[in-house]
Amino acid sequence: MRGSFTSLKRLLLASGMCLLGAAVLTYVVDPLQLFRPSRLAFYSDDTRVQNAGLIRSQPFDTAFMGTSLAIHFRQSDIDRALGVRSLKLAMTGSNSRQQAFVLEQAIDRGARGVIWAMDDFSFVDAADIEADPYLSVDLYRGTAKGIASYVFSAAMAKESLFTVMRSIPPLREPLTRAAPYLPVKFALEDVDDIYALPRNFEIALTYNAQKTFAAFAYITNPVRSRFLGEGYGYDAMIRHFEHDAVGLITRHPDVTFDIYLPPYSILQFVAMRDASPETLKIVTDLTAHIAQRLTRLPNVRLHDFRAVKAVTHDLDNYSDVIHHSPMVDAMVLKWLASGEYRVDPKAPLASLNELKAQVEAYRVPRSNLP
């Protein structure tokens, strides 16, 4: 009996030592760079986690936020076009609660400017940020709970061990080449490459009119068209816009917000027109409220790119009805720099009215549908 008890103590002691050793390894390597910047750092496309480390480790004066519509921008391109030192914090599928929370952390760490791609779908109703299962507020805040969940994470210990192995000169090159095919998240050597398309990416294979028309046909099919309005509720969206966006902006009057409405393809709105007109009304009513509200705030410059017909009607710019190519990313940066499509506070609904007219007049060329 005493031997069994001794064996159990040894097992518990060994387990505790392994756990402590893994925690020390994570703390020393610090793959997220929560405690200190590192010259040997690697980065992850898991942006909801990675952003917590970027905010603490990277030098920046401007935070760039958005959903998947803004995920492929490169920080170097933003910096060059706008003369800033940016930190890209865009998160695919993110809602306004998540975006506002992450932006607040960036502002607290010194951001004096915010560039925000404001996707209407981000204002759908969702969990309060304190109960969000997909974003750890404690990790961002650096609470004891957040730090413990980080240093005692088996996943982070694995990433730390891989980082150590990759720092050994003979192993660095082969492990770096193999990293995209291994079960590790921290595989990117350059922060500029986080969720960015490869520089040799074949744009025309992914972004073309054939795919855009196919996506339009798919979402307007009567079997699936009800999903066009899923999550869209005017009152809830207004509530989240006021709390998450306007609340953040008014709390930080010394921060300049360049907010833009992304250039969806015309087929996004035409799909709503034809298959879910009530959703289109919610979107246009929400846009009207956003335009009128934001143009009254002194620290906001609102830009509306949704009626730029030369882009939004050229369906070769899209991979579906909303996601545009890196070529359009470059145009967006140029427009932000020039202010060409900035919404005039004296006529906040002008661009919306132009968009409405385009949507009403557009006729889908049925010969292009699959």
**Mean pLDDT throughout 264-269?**
98
Cβ contact 267:315 at 8 Å: yes
Q: What is the pLDDT, as a whole number, of residue 13? A: 63
Provide the token pair at 197: 């398309």
* C-alpha to C-alpha distance for 256 and 299, rounded to whole angstroms: 5
Among the listed residues 290, 226, 270, the one whose alpha carbon sits nearest the alpha carbon of residue 366: 270
pLDDT exceeds cutoff 70 at 331? yes
Pick 111 or 164 by higher pLDDT: 111
Tell me the C-alpha to C-alpha distance, in Å, between residue 294 and each of 114, 215, 345: 14, 32, 9
Residues whose CB is less than 8 angstroms from the CB of residue 90 and which lie 6 or more positions away in sequence, other chains included: 47, 64, 65, 66, 67, 68, 70, 71, 73, 117, 195
Phi and psi of 303, rounded to 5°?
A: -120, 135
Residues whose CB is less than 8 angstroms from the CB of residue 332 and which lie 6 or more positions away in sequence, other chains included: 260, 262, 263, 305
Pick 331 or 10 by higher pLDDT: 331
pLDDT exceeds cutoff 90 at 181? no
Phi and psi of 253, rounded to 5°?
A: -65, -15
pLDDT exceeds cutoff 60 at 3? no
Phi-psi region of 110 (alpha: psi -120 to 50; beta: other; left: phi over 0): left
> Would you place residue 135 in the very low, low, confident or very high pLDDT band (cuts 50, 70, 90)?
very high
Q: What is the pLDDT, as a whole number, of residue 117? A: 98
Q: What average pLDDT does the structure give for the chain? A: 93
Cβ contact 156:167 at 8 Å: no
pLDDT exceeds cutoff 60 at 5? no
* C-alpha to C-alpha distance for 92 and 7, rounded to whole angstroms: 49
**Mean pLDDT throughout 302-320?**
98
Structural element, H or E, at residue 114: strand 113-117
Pick 321 or 224 by higher pLDDT: 321
Domains with residue ranges and CATH for the chain: 1-30+153-191 (no CATH), 56-132+201-368 (3.40.50.1110)
Q: What is the pLDDT, as a whole number, of residue 368? A: 74
pLDDT exceeds cutoff 90 at 101? yes
Distance from the Cα of residue 137 to its chain's centroid: 16
Phi-psi region of 33 (alpha: psi -120 to 50; beta: other; left: phi over 0): left
Query: How is residue 318 annotated by DSSP?
Result: B
**Mean pLDDT throughout 23-37?**
91
pLDDT exceeds cutoff 80 at 16? no
pLDDT exceeds cutoff 90 at 31? yes
The residue written with tokens 């730390």 in the block is 160
pTM of the model: 0.93
Structural element, H or E, at residue 235: helix 234-240
pLDDT exceeds cutoff 60 at 2? no
* C-alpha to C-alpha distance for 130 and 225, rounded to whole angstroms: 33
**pLDDT tens-digit readout, 200-227:** 899 999 999 999 999 999 999 998 888 8
Residues whose CB is less than 8 angstroms from the CB of residue 150 and which lie 6 or more positions away in sequence, other chains included: 26, 32, 34, 139, 156
Angle between helices 266-275 and 209-220 (to 10 degrees): 20
Structural element, H or E, at residue 53: helix 47-57
Phi and psi of 116, rounded to 5°?
A: -130, 110
> Would you place residue 97 in the very low, low, confident or very high pLDDT band (cuts 50, 70, 90)?
very high
Structural element, H or E, at residue 257: strand 256-261
- Burial string for 8-24 (b: 16+ CB within 10 Å, else e) reads eeeeeeeeeeeeeebbe
Q: What is the pLDDT, as a whole number, of residue 121? A: 93
* C-alpha to C-alpha distance for 121 and 231, rounded to whole angstroms: 8
Q: What is the pLDDT, as a whole number, of residue 370? A: 74
**Mean pLDDT throughout 284-307?**
98
Q: DSSP for 75-105, please give it.
A: HHHHHHHHTS-EEE---TT--HHHHHHHHHH
**pLDDT tens-digit readout, 36-61:** 998 878 999 999 999 999 999 999 99
pLDDT exceeds cutoff 70 at 274? yes
The residue written with tokens 């795919």 in the block is 211
The residue written with tokens 């004096």 in the block is 112
pLDDT exceeds cutoff 60 at 11? no
> Would you place residue 174 in the very low, low, confident or very high pLDDT band (cuts 50, 70, 90)?
confident
> Would you place residue 21 in the very low, low, confident or very high pLDDT band (cuts 50, 70, 90)?
confident
pLDDT exceeds cutoff 80 at 310? yes
Residues whose CB is less than 8 angstroms from the CB of residue 324 and which lie 6 or more positions away in sequence, other chains included: 69, 207, 262, 263, 265, 311, 317, 318
Provide the token pair at 117: 């791609």
